[in-house]
Amino acid sequence: MTTARKYVYARKFEGFPKEGDLQLVEEKLPQLKDGEFLSKAVYLSVDPYMRAYAPSLKLGTTFIGGQVAVVTESKNITHPVGQYIVGNFGWRTHTISDNESELYVLPDFDKLPLSLGVGVLGMPGNTAYFGFLEICQPKPGETVVVTGAAGAVGSHVGQIAKIKGCTVIGIAGSDEKGKWLVDDLGFDHFINYKDDKFKEKLEQATPKGVDCYFDNVGGEISSIVISRMNLYGRVSVCGSISGYNDTEPAKATTIQRFLVGKQLKMEGFIVRRWTERWGEGILQNKQWIQEGKLKYSETVTEGFENMFQAFVDMLKGGNIGKAVVKV
C-alpha cells in the first residue's frame, strides 16, 4: 500500500501565503483498478499562476500544480511502468490516475533534463512561445519589453524576441538578474523596476518606442511601459504578479488613453488555449535549445517538504529562471 503526501489548501491566502495556509498531509492510496496507474512525482512546479488562481480554489482540496512523474505501477497499457508523464495532479507525491485529460506522456527530450517538462519544455515554455508569438506577432527590428524578465516565462520570451530579430528590454527586480539577462541570455537592456529613475531609464532604452510588451506584472510599471508604445503596438498579458498578494485590488494609472492614442491591442491569455498545438511549442523550444539559441536556468529546491517555501521564495522574486522542486 502506498502513502502519498500532499498539500491541502487549508486556509485562504491573505496577502503573502503563510505557513499553515497549505497543510502537508498523508493519504493512503487504494489498490489500482483496471485502467488506472500509479505515478510518483519526480519534479514539481511552483508557478505564479498558483497564487493568482488561489482565490477561486475550494478549501480542503489538493493545491494545484503540474509535475513530471514516473509510472511505478500500472493497470493501463498506455502508461506502462517506467514511463515519464507530465500531470496536472496538484502538489502530491503519488497519484493514481486514469484520466488522460489531466496528463500527457513526456515527449522525447533526447538528453535534456527531465525537469524541463515543467519548465522550458512544458507549460512555461509554451506560455512564452504561444503567448508571445501569437499575441505580439513580433517583427524583425521591433522593440520588445518583457517584465518579470528573469522568471521562467519572461526569460524565455526575451530570447524568442532576440531569435526573431527584435531589440529586447528586460525588466526585473535585482541587478543580479539583470546581469544574467544581458550577459548570458543576450537581452539588449535591463532595467530594475525598483530604480527611482525607472521611467527615464525606460525612455533611454527605447528611443524608438515600444512595439511589443509581454506583461507579467501589471500595476504601475505596466502603465509606464504602455505609455511608451508605438502605433499599433501589441500587449500580451500573461499575468499581473505585482498584485497577486495585495489584499485590496491595486490601482494604477489608467491605460485607456494610450490604447486609443496609439491604437494598441492588448490581450490576456491562458496557455491552455493552445492545447491542440502543445507539441509544436515543445518541439520548437527543444530545437532552439539544441541549436544553442535558447538558454534556461532553474532554481531547484530539494525535498517535497520544502515546496511551500519554494513557492513563497518564487513569489518574492528569489528565483532566476524556473523554480522547481525535486522530490
Report the DSSP beta bridge partners of residue 161.
none
> Is residue 228 within the footprint of a second copy (CB under 8 A)?
no
Q: Are strands 143-147 and 103-105 parallel, antiparallel or unpaired?
A: unpaired
Closer Cβ to a second copy, 41 or 171, answer by number: 171
> Is residue 266 within the footprint of a second copy (CB under 8 A)?
yes
| Residue carrying C-alpha cell 531569435 | 163
> Is residue 254 within the footprint of a second copy (CB under 8 A)?
yes
> At closest approach, how far in Å is the CB of 238 from a second copy?
7
> Is residue 253 within the footprint of a second copy (CB under 8 A)?
yes
- The window from 5-13, 24-32, 90-98, 232-240 that contacts a second copy (CB under 8 A) reads 232-240
Closer Cβ to a second copy, 251 or 277, answer by number: 251
**Alpha helices (runs of H) in 172-246, residue ranges in sequence order:** 175-179, 198-205, 219-227
With beta carbons less than 8 A apart as the criterion, state whether 212 and 225 touch.
Answer: no
Q: Which of 130, 187, 258, 278 binds a second copy (CB under 8 A)?
A: 258
Q: Which of 218, 285, 311, 315 binds a second copy (CB under 8 A)?
A: 218
- The window from 83-91, 156-164, 214-222, 304-312 that contacts a second copy (CB under 8 A) reads 214-222
Tell me which residue of 55, 81, 90, 84 sits closest to 69, measured CA to CA. Answer: 84
Distance from C-alpha of 122 to C-alpha of 126, rounded to nearest angstrom: 6
Report the DSSP beta bridge partners of residue 104.
86
Report the DSSP beta bridge partners of residue 92.
6
> At closest approach, how far in Å is the CB of 222 from a second copy?
7
> At closest approach, how far in Å is the CB of 267 from a second copy?
5
Q: Are strands 210-215 and 103-105 parallel, antiparallel or unpaired?
A: unpaired
With beta carbons less than 8 A apart as the criterion, state whether 327 and 44 touch.
Answer: yes
> Is residue 77 within the footprint of a second copy (CB under 8 A)?
no
Three cell numbers written together for 323: 523554480
> Is residue 249 within the footprint of a second copy (CB under 8 A)?
yes
Three cell numbers written together for 61: 482540496
Question: Which residues of the shown chain bind a second copy in the complex (CB under 8 A)?
Answer: 52, 215, 218-219, 222, 237-240, 243, 249-270, 273
